[in-house]
């Protein structure tokens, strides 16, 4: 079985000069089926228009689709594309060289893809999942990814198959599989009861003089491990409750990837040697490669049902914060 996945940055060019990042494009291919995600952001807030997305390969340039931009942002997902004829362009995935999105006469978005060098490889990747960091970007740098409003997301299905979402990335047993506990078989060492959806509790909201206690009353609670551990379920938009220095976390690519896959983050309180600590947790499965990416984006540890975590275990990558 042939499997290949790539996530590539899109460069924003003005008069041929690169001015910054403009989002990313992601390809995931299984045998002859290719799913494509295009995420454009970082343009001018006055850029509300329809733009054409062009594929370049095999000595030709063909129109793939039309992307709607609203205030400089837009997202589109093309499901179940024929890898031998992407979007009926006549360009095969293995011959794909670049993607080009003209915005105006002097501005355009370019993403260099590069052709597939060989066919028949399993889980061949040029970059880790979550980010396609260019050589000039250091490990400490964060991609300039922004949250795209739901109304900008467009789904295109060629085969009229009722796909739920391409954000839940399916992989075979030889590859990493980040899927929510309620939507897949239990990961390695995860008990049967953890496959059930998380339990939320409704509470009345009294006023409290302690910030954590107030948040505890306001936000829904989640018990993903079915034990005494209980967390607050939050999202990127809730970072306004944190000190201002943490607002930029809403653009953290690793965090956003976990949030889009599992539809929640967690806020955790921990008493450690007489000290109170707080953490933001991103859901995911434990793999050495994802651990390294998590460290690069500031997530220092991983909490799962059992310690230490085993390969494939579901849990949360944690970043310590102040409240």
Q: What average pLDDT does the segment 290-318 reach?
A: 92
Instruction: Give the Cα separation of 306 and 62 in Å (integer).
Output: 51
Higher pLDDT, 264 or 193: 264
- Report cis status (omega within 30 of 0) of the bond before 308: yes
Distance CA 224, CA 197 (A): 8
Q: What is the mean pLDDT of residues 255-260?
A: 90
**Does residue 176 carry a pLDDT above 60?**
no
**pLDDT per position as a tens digit, 276-302:** 999 999 999 999 889 999 999 999 999
Most distant pair of Cα atoms in the chain: their distance: 67
CA distance 250 to 291: 20
Residues of 236-275 as b/e, b for ≥16 C-beta within 10 angstroms?
A: bebbebbeeebeebbbbbbbbbbbebbebbbbbeeeeeee
Token code pair at residue 176: 């990493």
Q: Is residue 150 left, alpha or beta, with left meaning phi > 0 and alpha meaning psi from -120 to 50?
A: alpha
Taking the domains of the chain in order of start, what are their residue ranges? 3-157, 181-321
Instruction: Write the CATH number of the domain with boundaries 3-157.
Output: 2.60.40
pLDDT digits (tens, 9 = 90+) for 202-236: 545 566 678 998 898 889 999 999 899 999 999 99
pTM for the whole structure: 0.41
Dist CA 287 CA 310 (whole Å): 8
Comparing 250 with 152, which gets the higher pLDDT? 250
Tens digit of each residue's pLDDT (9 = 90 or more) over 9-57? 899 988 888 888 899 999 999 989 999 999 998 898 899 999 999 998 8
Q: Which two tokens stand for residue 285?
A: 């499965």
Q: Note every long-range contact of 173-179, with CB atoms under 8 Å and residues 24 or more positions apart, other chains counting.
A: 174/122, 174/123, 175/3, 175/122, 175/123, 176/129, 176/285, 176/287, 176/289, 176/290, 176/312, 177/285, 177/312, 178/129, 178/258, 178/261, 178/284, 178/285, 178/290, 179/261
Residue with tokens 């733009």: 51
Q: Give the span between the Cα atoms of 256 and 100, in whole angstroms.
A: 25
Name which residue leads in pLDDT, 139 or 22. 22
Task: Give alpha helix (H) positions in 226-269.
Answer: 253-262
DSSP state of 132: -
Question: Using CA atoms, how far apart are residues 249 and 239, in angstroms rounded to an integer?
Answer: 8
E strand or H helix that includes residue 291: helix 288-296
Q: Give the three-state DSSP class for 304.
A: strand
Other C-beta atoms within 10 Å of 202: how many?
6
User: From the CA atom positions of the chain, what is the Rg in Å?
Assistant: 21
Quote the Cα angle for 83-173-252, to 5°.
Answer: 75
Provide the 3-class DSSP secondary structure of residue 299: coil
């Amino acid at each position: 079985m042939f499997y290949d996945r790539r996530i590539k940055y899109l460069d924003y060019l003005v008069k041929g000069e690169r001015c910054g990042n403009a989002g990313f494009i992601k390809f995931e291919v299984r045998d002859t089926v290719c799913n494509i995600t295009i995420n454009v952001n970082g343009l001018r807030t006055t850029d509300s228009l329809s733009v054409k997305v062009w594929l370049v390969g095999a000595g030709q340039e063909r129109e793939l689709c039309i992307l709607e931009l609203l205030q400089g942002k837009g997202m589109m997902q093309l499901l179940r594309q024929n890898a031998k004829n992407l979007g009926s362009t006549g360009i095969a995935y293995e011959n794909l060289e670049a993607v080009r999105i003209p915005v105006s006469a002097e501005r355009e978005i370019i993403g260099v893809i590069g052709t597939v060098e060989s066919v028949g490889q399993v889980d061949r990747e040029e970059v880790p999942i979550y980010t396609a960091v260019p050589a000039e970007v250091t490990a400490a740098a964060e991609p300039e990814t922004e949250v795209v409003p739901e109304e900008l997301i467009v789904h295109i299905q060629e085969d009229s198959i009722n796909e739920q979402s391409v954000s839940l990335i399916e992989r075979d047993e030889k590859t990493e599989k980040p899927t929510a506990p309620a939507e897949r078989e239990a990961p390695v060492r995860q008990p049967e009861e953890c496959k059930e959806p998380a339990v939320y509790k409704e509470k009345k909201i009294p006023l409290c003089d302690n910030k954590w206690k107030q948040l505890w009353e306001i936000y829904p609670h989640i018990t993903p491990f079915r034990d005494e551990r209980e967390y607050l379920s939050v999202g990127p938009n809730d970072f306004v409750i944190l000190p201002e220095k943490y607002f930029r976390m809403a653009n953290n690519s690793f965090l956003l990837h976990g949030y889009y896959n599992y539809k929640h983050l967690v806020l955790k309180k921990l008493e450690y040697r007489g000290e109170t600590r707080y953490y933001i947790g991103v859901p995911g499965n434990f793999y050495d490669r994802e651990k390294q990416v998590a460290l690069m984006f500031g997530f220092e540890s991983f909490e799962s049902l059992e310690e230490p975590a085993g390969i494939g275990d579901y849990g949360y990558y944690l970043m310590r914060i102040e409240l």
